[in-house]
Amino acid sequence: MDIYERLSSIAGKENVLRDEPMSRHTTFRTGGPAEYLVSPDMDGLPGVIAFCREQEIPLTVIGNGSNLLVGDKGISGVVVEIGRSMGEICLEGDKITAQAGALLSAVSAKAAAEGLTGLEFASGIPGSVGGAVIMNAGAYGGEMKDTLVAATVLTKEGEIVRLPAEELDLSYRHSNLPEKESIVLEAEFVLTEGDVDQIAATLADLKQKRTSKQPLEYPSAGSTFKRPEGHFAGKLIEDAGLKGYTVGGAQVSEKHCGFVSNKGGATSADVLELIRHIQKTVLEQFGVQLETEVRLLGEF
Contacts of 132 (CB under 8 A, 6+ apart): 104, 122, 125, 144
Residue 255: predicted pLDDT:
94
Q: Which of 223, 253, 261, 268 is catalytic?
A: 223
Q: Would residue 159 show up in a list of annotated catalytic residues for this protein? A: no
Say which CATH topology domain 3-84 has.
3.30.43
Sequence ranges of the domains in the chain: 3-84, 87-198, 215-297
| pLDDT tens column, 78-116 | 999 999 999 999 999 999 999 999 999 999 999 999 999
Could you name the CATH architecture of 215-297? Answer: Alpha-Beta Complex (3.90)
**Residue 50 has what pLDDT?**
96
Alpha-carbon gap, residue 163 to 133, rounded angstroms: 12
SS3 assignment, position 243: coil
253 counts as catalytic: no
Mark the ranges of the chain whose per-residue pLDDT is less than 50.
none
> Among the CATH numbers 3.30.1330.10, 3.40.1350.10, 3.30.465.10, 3.40.50.720, which is that of 87-198?
3.30.465.10
Closest CA to 4 of 60, 90, 68, 77: 77
User: What pTM does this model have?
Assistant: 0.94
Looking at residue 1, its pLDDT comes to 64
Give the SS3 label for residue 147.
Answer: coil
Measure the CA–CA gap between 262 and 182, rounded to whole angstroms: 31
**Which position among 81, 120, 143, 293 bears the catalytic label?**
293
The answer to whether 87-198 and 215-297 have equal CATH topology is no
* 223 is known as an active-site residue: yes
